Chains A and B, each alone.
Chain A
Amino acid sequence: MSADRITPAMVTSSTVADLSASLSSLERSTEELSSGRTILEPSDNPYGASRVIDLQSELDGLSAYESDAQSGVAWEDTASSAMSSINSSLQRVRELVLQAANGTNDQTDLNTIATQIEELTEGIKQDANAQYAGEYIFSGTLTTTAPYQQGEDDEYQGNAETISRAVGPGATVTISTNLSTLLGNGVASEDGKLLDTLRTLVTNLRSGTPEGIAAVGTTDLQSLDANLATLSELQSAAGSATDQLQAALARNEDLQTSIAEGLSSTEDTNIAATSIAYANEQAAYSAALRAGATIVQESLINFLQ
Chain B
Amino acid sequence: MSIPTLQGLQTALSGLVAEQTALDTTGNNIANANTEGYSRETALLEPNPPLPIAAISTLTGEGAQLGAGVSVANITRIRNVYLDVQYRTQNSALSNAGTQAEELQQAQSAFDEPSSTSLATQMSAFWTAWSNLAQAPTSEGAKEAVVATGEQLARTFNQLSGELSSLSVQTGEQYAALAGAGGEVERYAEQIAQLNGQIKLAEEAGQQSNEMLDQRDVLLDKLSALANVTVSEQPDHTDTVTFGDAAKPLVEGTTVTWPQTLTEAAGGQLGALLSLNGENGALGSLRSGLDGVAEALATSVNEHLEGLEPPAKAFFSGTTAATLAVAVTPAEVRASGGAAPGGNAVALAIAALRGGTAEQDYATLVEKLGSDVQGARDEEANLQSTVTAINDQRQSVSGVSLDEEMTNLITFQRGYQASARTMSAMDEMLETLIEHTGTVGL
Please state if A133 and B136 are interface contacts (CB–CB under 8 Å): yes
Contacts of B336 in A (CB 8 A): 141
In the complex, what's the smallest C-beta–C-beta distance from A177 to chain B, in angstroms? 13
In the complex, what's the smallest C-beta–C-beta distance from A34 to chain B, in angstroms? 15
Residue A115 at the B interface, CB < 8 A?
no
Chain A 5-57 interface residues, beta-carbon cutoff 8 Å to B: 5-10, 13-14, 17, 37, 39, 41-47, 49-54, 56-57
Please state if B395 and A10 are interface contacts (CB–CB under 8 Å): yes
User: CA–CA, A3 to B80, complex, Å?
Assistant: 14
Residue A58 at the B interface, CB < 8 A?
yes
Please state if A144 and B138 are interface contacts (CB–CB under 8 Å): yes
Please state if B344 and A60 are interface contacts (CB–CB under 8 Å): no
The closest CB in chain A to the CB of B368 belongs to A46
Residue A270 at the B interface, CB < 8 A?
no
Please state if A142 and B396 are interface contacts (CB–CB under 8 Å): no
Please state if A56 and B124 are interface contacts (CB–CB under 8 Å): yes
Contacts of A9 in B (CB 8 A): 33-34, 395, 399-400
The closest CB in chain B to the CB of A145 belongs to B341
Residue A169 at the B interface, CB < 8 A?
yes
Contacts of B388 in A (CB 8 A): 13-14, 17
Give which listed residue, A14, A142, A165, contacts B134 with CB less than 8 A.
Answer: A165
User: CA–CA, A68 to B344, complex, Å?
Assistant: 12
Contacts of B363 in A (CB 8 A): 50-51, 53-54
Residue B123 at the A interface, CB < 8 A?
yes
Give which listed residue, A46, A54, A143, contacts B355 with CB less than 8 A.
Answer: A54
Please state if B341 and A144 are interface contacts (CB–CB under 8 Å): yes
Residue A159 at the B interface, CB < 8 A?
yes
Binds B, one of A117-125, A223-231, A297-305: A297-305
User: CA–CA, A71 to B133, complex, Å?
Assistant: 12
User: CA–CA, A14 to B384, complex, Å?
Assistant: 12
Please state if B121 and A56 are interface contacts (CB–CB under 8 Å): yes
The closest CB in chain B to the CB of A301 belongs to B406
In the complex, what's the smallest C-beta–C-beta distance from A241 to chain B, in angstroms? 15
Contacts of B338 in A (CB 8 A): 141, 161
Please state if B127 and A61 are interface contacts (CB–CB under 8 Å): yes
User: CA–CA, A172 to B364, complex, Å?
Assistant: 29
User: CA–CA, A54 to B396, complex, Å?
Assistant: 53
In the complex, the 8 A-B pairs of residues with the closest C-beta atoms, listed nearest first? A143-B342, A42-B370, A46-B370, A141-B340, A43-B373, A7-B399, A3-B396, A50-B367
With A5-B397, A42-B369, A57-B123 already in contact, 5 other A-B pairs whose C-beta atoms are closer than 8 Å: A7-B400, A41-B373, A53-B113, A142-B342, A161-B342
Question: Can you list 17 pairs linking A and B with CB atoms under 8 Å apart?
Answer: A1-B389, A3-B392, A9-B34, A43-B371, A51-B363, A53-B362, A56-B114, A60-B125, A61-B127, A64-B131, A64-B354, A68-B135, A134-B138, A141-B342, A143-B138, A161-B338, A161-B342
The chain A residues found within 8 Å of chain B, CB to CB, are 1, 3-10, 13-14, 17, 37, 39, 41-47, 49-54, 56-58, 60-61, 63-65, 67-68, 71, 133-136, 139-144, 159, 161, 163-166, 169-170, 172, 267, 299-301, 304
